[in-house]
Amino acid sequence: RPNDSLLVVATPGRLTDFVDRSIVSLSYVRFLILDEADRMLDMGFEPQIRKLVQQSGMTPKEKRQTLLFSATFAPEIQKLAGEFLRPYVWIAVGRVGSTTSSITQVLVKATADKRHKLQLVVEALQSGPDGRTLIFVQKKRTATWLKKMLQKGGPDDGQPNERFTPIAAEDIHGDRSQSQREAALASFRAGNCRVLVATDVAARGLDISGVEQVINMDLPNSKDDFDSYVHRIGRTGRAGHMGLATSLFVPGDDPKVGNGRIAGLMVTQLREAEQEVPEWLEQQVAGGGGGAHATKRKQPERDMRRDEDTFNNGGKRQHQSDGGGRNNGGGRGRGRGGRGRGGRGRGRG
């Protein structure tokens, strides 16, 4: 409304609720920004976004400027852009979906045994930076188990080489209440605990400064989920700081525990970021096993528009890298980097 707030920052679900209850009106919106658009789709927010943009009385796209930011631009995101934006400009800083050289990426060969992984995680903590470390796991129960092991200094029935000095840790995942998550984050931010163990879902949307190391105890085991690797390690190496990302890689194509399907993608990722590729990983890919064929991502690395018939509302393909420009639809683009990522795309129309 004209005399009310000039800026509203909200999650799709809560904003939809406020609009439905007539607490917020979107009829005067002139600028709409969707940050982390790819993550919003992954989290199932597309229905809410569509309702807000198309059925809530929001200013039509011809009378507003819309900006989409994302580290990865899958086809679904580009289709969304075609519907929500005027003929738009695509801006890419670096290669969309890649990482940055400010993050040192280290791959460690591991077995699927979680106690072996625990030893490797502790070694990474002991040899890495002393500051905040964010550890990613695939399952909620693994997050709880790892936190307890770190707090106790290893398993009670462990051998002497499995015991270590206890490490202050907290965890966040779907089984934790909102108050428990907030308490864990507050402790992590305040420096009361050095380690925060998280699942992908619980960690999405978190903005924690000063993370010096990210450890992937569990890597994605599907090439369709490989984008999460980029988002995870992007939690460190931000704002001009250097970061360290240590990932435990389990060879083999076992769909439950093996990471072989992403081997080719991982090699490509490391080479693009000018990182060292372990010899054992190169041999696995060269030998034709473990994802040797999977050297390309599922999402395109550039603007998908080919002509006026592609994404009817998206306009002709106009691509700009590391800079900006204005198209005939009135959109203007500026390159944007950061958040510890080598590539970040932006659609503006």
Summarize pLDDT for 187-212 with one digit per residue, the tens. 999 999 999 999 987 666 677 889 99
The CATH number of whichever domain residue 133 belongs to comes to 3.40.50.300
- Segment 4-23, tens digit of pLDDT: 778 999 989 899 999 999 99
| Same domain, yes or no: 175 and 260 | yes
Q: Considering the domain boundaries, does residue 330 fall inside one?
A: no
Domain count for the chain: 2
State the residue range of the domain holding 61: 12-84
For the chain, the average pLDDT equals: 81
Q: Is the pTM of this model over 0.85?
A: no
What pLDDT score was predicted for residue 6?
86
Q: Considering the domain boundaries, does residue 66 fall inside one?
A: yes
Structure confidence at residue 52 as a pLDDT band (50, 70, 90): very high
72 or 328, which is more confident: 72
| Same domain, yes or no: 150 and 181 | yes
Q: Considering the domain boundaries, does residue 292 fall inside one?
A: no
- Segment 210-230, tens digit of pLDDT: 999 999 999 988 888 888 898
Q: Considering the domain boundaries, does residue 346 fall inside one?
A: no
* Nearest to 257, CA basis, from 113, 41, 67, 86: 113
Cβ atoms of residues 135 and 197 within 8 Å: yes
Q: In 193-340, which ranges are continuous DSSP H helix?
A: 200-203, 227-233, 263-272, 279-286
| Same domain, yes or no: 134 and 276 | yes
Q: Considering the domain boundaries, does residue 2 fall inside one?
A: no
Cα 213 to Cα 211: distance, rounded to the nearest angstrom: 6
The yes-or-no verdict on residue 300 having pLDDT over 50 is no
- Which of 287, 315, 342 corresponds to the end of one domain? 287
| Same domain, yes or no: 64 and 131 | no
Q: Give the mean model confidence (pLDDT) for residues 132-153.
A: 96
349 or 114, which is more confident: 114
- Which of 287, 318, 340 corresponds to the end of one domain? 287
| Helix or strand holding residue 185 (H, E) | helix 178-190
Q: Considering the domain boundaries, does residue 252 fall inside one?
A: yes
Q: Considering the domain boundaries, does residue 315 fall inside one?
A: no
Least confident of 140-144, 150-154, 181-185, 224-228: 224-228
| Same domain, yes or no: 169 and 239 | yes
What pLDDT score was predicted for residue 43?
72
